[in-house]
């Protein structure tokens, strides 16, 4: 992959085999649907498609690729819900774009950076969903809840734990 | 001009993709139509693996309960280990089979009670990818005769309705989903209302006037007015009822606990018809409408 024009020259752009990206997306979607059967209470806090979108956005650091990947993941996730198609698509498009834009400017491989960025982008992801639900569907609800904060924390911890495993799949 | 375009290309693509998706949403809302193509792709991509994963997990869980978890005992008691393990493995297998047989027997019993009523049994293989929605995936689809809006039940009560149908799988919208609504009535007074989900484990019964006495524990049945569910299927029991307070509402706030265990469904029944269910024998668990009705109060 060619580094984005706005990327800092010292920031490394990572490459992945297309099969790795497709496999990770596929696995995340399968687990997202399957986990609620295994862990009915815990699974509701985990957003694996979001984590995959964020990881490849931060790593590949090309905003167009990031947002397109986010859109595809989001639309597929929408297809597995009973809701309108496009809600997760919108949220993950924003996450993919934001992550790849930031990934091209700062070093995002440090665990602390990953923890903070995952939490931040989770809030953005949920914020976009909330705005879309309010403006397009007319659904109103509380946004900043304990549930949201717990989910943000859990996903941030999962990112710190599992992103290094995905790092090993980078092309050398 | 060219450098500016190149510099802003990501923003232009972002704006374009966002616009396309907003339009996609707007079209769905305006025309009340689904983007079936994307849903079909996603479901066809995921559910075959999900089906295999579900089966594999059930086998692994059985093996774990019956064998792996007993390895500590093996080390502590070397002499009796093999016999003990084999017996416990056998016991675990038998217990798992007994539990499964019990579930299947209930389904079969239900089938025998309504021999002429068209229905299919379906295995639950997954849940929604969105925690805000309450849906299930079942391993039956159009090839098994399923169609949109068909009622889904268990011998205990109503589960929901078929929301989307694909070749070999289907999405079931649970009673507890925010979009769910079922025509309902109180068993004793036959007063009719609407059961709605809220995303929570309980349901609400709406449009029951404040003057109508509602007893905690009273059963709520389908009324048949929604043209989806046959009349008389158990929906749940009243947990709590109080007069409406919002803006002097004339309707009560009634909380209902679902009869079916919606959080641990493994097999469900999809009714392929909408006519009233008349049991062949009086011992039927469902529907309550077919039993000797209590006099209206």
Of residues A17 and B186, the one with the higher pLDDT is B186
Q: Is A136 on the interface with B (CB under 8 A)?
A: yes
Token pair 């889904």: residue: B152
Number of C-alpha atoms within 13 angstroms, CB side, residue A39?
8
Q: For residue B170, is pLDDT > 90?
A: yes
Angle between helices A111-132 and A146-167 (to 10 degrees): 130
Residue of A29, A30, A82 lying closest to B128 (CB–CB): A82
Q: Quick check: helix, strand or coil at residue B195?
A: strand
> What angle (nearest 5°) sits at the alpha carbon of residue B61, between those of residues B59 and B65?
120
Chain A residue numbers touching B21 (CB-CB < 8 A): 71, 75, 86, 89-90, 93
When pLDDT is cut at 50, 70 and 90, the band that residue B249 belongs to is confident
Cis peptide before B133 (omega within 30 of 0): no
**DSSP track, A80-98:** TSSS-TTHHHHHHHHHHHH
Mutate to test the interface with B, among A6, A31, A50, A82 (most CBs of B within 10 A): A82
When pLDDT is cut at 50, 70 and 90, the band that residue B279 belongs to is low
Q: For residue B116, is pLDDT > 60?
A: yes
The answer to whether B57 contacts A81, with C-beta atoms less than 8 Å apart, is no
Chain B residue numbers touching A78 (CB-CB < 8 A): 38-39, 42, 130
Whole-model pTM: value is 0.64
Nearest chain A alpha carbon to B12: A64
Q: Is A124 on the interface with B (CB under 8 A)?
A: no
The answer to whether A101 contacts B10, with C-beta atoms less than 8 Å apart, is yes
* Lowest-confidence segment of A56-65, B63-72, B136-145 by average pLDDT: B63-72
Q: Is A137 on the interface with B (CB under 8 A)?
A: yes
* Lowest-confidence segment of A38-52, A121-135, B106-120, B143-157 by average pLDDT: B106-120
Eight-class DSSP state of B28 = H
Token pair 């879309």: residue: A132
Q: Which tens digits make up the pLDDT trace of B4-21?
A: 567 788 899 999 999 999
Cis peptide before B118 (omega within 30 of 0): no
Nearest chain B alpha carbon to A80: B129
% of chain B at pLDDT higher than 70: 81
Nearest Cα to Cα of residue B267 among B149, B147, B139: B139
d(CA B207, CA B191): 10
Measured on CA atoms in the order A8, A12, A18, A24, is the torsion positive or negative? negative
When pLDDT is cut at 50, 70 and 90, the band that residue B73 belongs to is low
């Amino acid at each position: 992959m060619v580094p984005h024009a706005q990327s800092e020259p010292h920031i490394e752009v990572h490459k992945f085999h297309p099969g790795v990206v497709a496999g990770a997306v596929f696995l995340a979607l399968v687990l997202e649907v399957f986990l609620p059967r295994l862990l009915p209470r815990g699974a509701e806090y985990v957003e694996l498609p979001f984590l995959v979108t964020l990881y490849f956005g931060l790593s590949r650091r090309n905003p167009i690729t990031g947002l397109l990947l986010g859109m595809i993941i989001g639309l597929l996730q929408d297809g597995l819900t009973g809701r309108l198609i496009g809600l997760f698509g919108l949220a993950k498009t924003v996450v993919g774009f934001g992550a790849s834009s930031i990934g091209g400017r700062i070093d995002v491989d440090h665990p602390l950076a990953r923890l903070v960025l995952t939490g931040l982008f989770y809030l953005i992801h949920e914020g976009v969903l909330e705005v879309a639900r309010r403006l397009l569907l007319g659904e109103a609800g509380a946004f900043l809840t304990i549930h949201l904060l717990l989910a943000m924390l859990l996903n941030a911890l999962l990112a710190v734990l599992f992103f290094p495993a995905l790092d090993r799949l980078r092309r050398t | 001009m060219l450098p500016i375009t190149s510099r802003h290309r990501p923003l232009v693509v972002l704006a374009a993709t966002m616009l396309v998706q907003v339009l996609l949403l707007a079209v769905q809302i305006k025309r009340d139509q689904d983007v079936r193509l994307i849903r079909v792709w996603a479901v066809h991509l995921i559910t075959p693996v999900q089906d295999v994963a579900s089966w594999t997990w059930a086998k692994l869980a059985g093996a774990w309960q019956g064998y792996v978890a007993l390895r500590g005992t093996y080390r502590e008691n070397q002499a009796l280990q093999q016999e003990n393990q084999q017996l416990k493995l056998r016991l675990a297998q038998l217990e798992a089979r007994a539990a499964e047989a019990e579930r299947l027997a209930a389904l079969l019993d239900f089938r025998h009670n309504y021999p002429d009523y068209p229905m299919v049994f379906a295995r639950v293989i997954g849940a929604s990818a969105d925690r805000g929605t309450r849906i299930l995936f079942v391993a039956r689809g159009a090839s098994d005769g399923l169609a949109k809006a068909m009622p889904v039940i268990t011998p205990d009560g109503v589960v929901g309705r078929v929301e989307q149908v694909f070749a070999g799988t289907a999405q079931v919208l649970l009673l507890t989903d925010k979009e769910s609504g079922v025509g309902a009535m109180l068993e004793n007074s036959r007063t009719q209302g609407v059961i709605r989900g809220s995303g929570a484990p309980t349901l609400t019964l709406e449009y029951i006037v404040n003057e109508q006495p509602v007893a905690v524990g009273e059963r709520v049945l389908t009324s048949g007015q929604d043209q989806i569910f046959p009349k008389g299927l158990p929906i749940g029991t009243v947990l709590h009822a109080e007069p409406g307070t919002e803006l002097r509402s004339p309707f009560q706030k009634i909380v209902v606990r679902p009869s079916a265990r919606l959080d641990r469904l493994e097999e469900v029944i999809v009714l392929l018809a909408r006519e009233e269910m008349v049991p062949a024998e009086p011992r039927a668990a469902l529907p309550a409408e077919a039993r000797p009705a209590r006099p209206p109060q």
